[in-house]
Structure 1
Amino acid sequence: MVKHSGGEGNSVESLHAFKEYHSDDWCWDPCNKSSDVVLSTNHLAAYFHTDPVYESIGTAGVRGTKGFREGEYYWEVIFTEPPLGTAVMVGVGTCEALLHTGNYQYVNLIGIDSHSWGISHKGTIWHDGKYRNYCEAFFDQETRIGVQLNLYSGTLTFYKNGVNLGVAFTGLSGEDMDDIYPLACSTSALTELELGIRTSRKLSLQEKCYSAILNRIGNSKRKVDQLPLPPLLKDILKGIAVYK
């Protein structure tokens, strides 16, 4: 079961926290998008509901070209126009996630079912048709929404202009989990979303062991002290737990 946690203002992190990440080169996928989404020539910018006559007649989504199964990932989506309407969203989902609704269905598409997880510009987060308040709404042009997907811990965390908003979802990992892709969607005409930095990192075997231990005990320094491990390993684990 996916749990919801976190909230705005839990911590503030500058992006140097991702200095060990390596640049990624995925972009928006021209083969996996709504017909109401137009991509820039480099496929980094997505333009929603651009028809000058019909404007928006539903909800349009687009998927990233790269699916993730293992590792840690961080990317940013820049709102190059102020978000308006029912929902402008970013998030993640499996290949089963919906990318389009017509017939004037204006919905929170990312998170409408169990195949996707997303944040709306109104400050709500969505999964499996359920939502909750997560942060203050954002309506400003050039807002940067960061997405941190950690498939070792199974967590999804959002950032706003470099500020960590806290863990939004857990449970995004497991042997039966499908590949997870970046997503964006909008109900509003003339929405523009552009990809910013895209990074990733893979843990070493030693780091995976540390991560598995901390995930099992809940990143508690008190519980680390109770483990039957040498003092040096305990110190390493407690040092890592500070940043979890």
Structure 2
Amino acid sequence: MMPALKGHTWETWEWDTKGKSPDAFLSPCGQAVYFHISPLLESHGTAGVRGSKGFSYGEHYWEIEFLEPPYGTSVMVGVGTMNAHLHAGEQFINLVGMDSESWGLSYKGLLWHNGKSRKYTEPFYDKNTVIGVLLNRTAGTLTFYRNGDNLGLAFSGLDQVCSALYPMVSSTAPETELLLGLRTSRLSSLQEHCMHTITHCLGRFGHTHSLPLPPALRCQIHT
């Protein structure tokens, strides 16, 4: 079943116009991404894009709809740090999860991280498939949903990642079209509410390294 979203608030982040492959094109509203739409309708490698907002604490859920049936070597959904690769020219690879900076799910039902894969679910080939992503930075878990059905725990240990994690998608296939849907978040503890307030007050260019806080807490609020 879909995650219980009680206590969640709506979010309005979108795909990042500066955090994408040259072969990824965004809709004017920033919610749809189109891969490999050159006049020749050819792919010359693997293209990716990340969300405009990264998450260091709290629980976050978002949905991605496949506007066209996925096909080809790889179409992926997942998360990654700011250092995750967004482009692999002339290489047809599973980009989200190719190294230690990202964690991804391929439409073929495989999970990828650090260049290694494992079976997770059955492949999904249908148009309008909706993949939900539940990232819990407090528990350090990542769970995927397909058309509202919980596919089970995909990754754990993400609470040990000392970097913000951003939503990501990637594709090797021409004319791949992916649309952002529901986006929500929830702060589940007093500590998370405090971190949210500190981050908001510091602003984007706050110097978190200079705060008189424990290193682990500085790491969490640094996005």
Q: Give TM-score scaled by structure 1 length.
A: 0.77
Question: Per-residue CA shift, 1:46-89, capped at 9, x if unaligned?
Answer: 00000022620000000100010000000000000000100100
Match of 2:147 among 161, 165, 181: 161
Report what 1:129 is aligned to.
Answer: 115
Match of 2:162 among 170, 177, 188: 177
User: Take 1:146 and 1:56, find their aligned partners in 2: how far apart are those partners?
Assistant: 26
1:207 deviation in Å?
9.7
User: Take 2:5 and 2:76, find their aligned partners in 1: how far apart are those partners?
Assistant: 23
Q: 2:176 corresponds to which letter in structure 1?
A: T
Matched residue of 1:18: which SS? Answer: coil
Asked if the contact 2:2/2:145 (under 8 Å) is kept, the reply is no
Question: Per-residue CA shift, 1:183-215, capped at 9, x if unaligned?
Answer: 00000000000000000000133999xxxxxxx
Asked if the contact 2:41/2:174 (under 8 Å) is kept, the reply is no
User: Take 1:206 and 1:129, find their aligned partners in 2: how far apart are those partners?
Assistant: 34
Spell out the pairing of 1:1-150 with structure 2 (5 A cutoff): 13-15=1-3, 17-53=4-40, 55-103=42-90, 105-150=91-136
User: Take 1:54 and 1:133, find their aligned partners in 2: how far apart are those partners?
Assistant: 31
Question: Per-residue CA shift, 1:93-151, capped at 9, x if unaligned?
Answer: 00000000112x10000000000000000000000001000000000000000000000
**Structure 2, unaligned runs of 5 or more:** 194-223
Q: 1:195 corresponds to which letter in structure 2?
A: L
Matched residue of 1:173: which SS? Answer: helix
- Of 31-40 and 45-54, deviating more is 45-54
Matched residue of 2:53: which SS? Answer: coil
Report what 2:209 is aligned to.
Answer: none
Identical counterparts, % of pairs? 56
Q: 1:164 corresponds to which letter in structure 2?
A: N
User: Take 1:14 and 1:99, find their aligned partners in 2: how far apart are those partners?
Assistant: 29
Q: 2:181 corresponds to which letter in structure 1?
A: G
Asked if the contact 2:36/2:42 (under 8 Å) is kept, the reply is yes
Report what 1:197 is aligned to.
Answer: 182
User: Take 1:156 and 1:77, find their aligned partners in 2: how far apart are those partners?
Assistant: 15
Aligned length: 193
Larger Rg over CA atoms: 1
User: Take 2:154 and 2:39, find their aligned partners in 1: how far apart are those partners?
Assistant: 36
User: Take 2:41 and 2:146, find their aligned partners in 1: how far apart are those partners?
Assistant: 32
User: Take 2:191 and 2:57, find their aligned partners in 1: how far apart are those partners?
Assistant: 15
Report what 1:212 is aligned to.
Answer: none
User: Take 2:52 and 2:2, find their aligned partners in 1: how far apart are those partners?
Assistant: 27
Asked if the contact 2:41/2:175 (under 8 Å) is kept, the reply is no
**Structure 1, unaligned runs of 5 or more:** 1-12, 209-244
User: Take 1:52 and 1:64, find their aligned partners in 2: how far apart are those partners?
Assistant: 26
Spell out the pairing of 1:186-225 with structure 2 (5 A cutoff): 186-205=171-190
Report what 1:236 is aligned to.
Answer: none
User: Take 1:151 and 1:14, find their aligned partners in 2: how far apart are those partners?
Assistant: 18
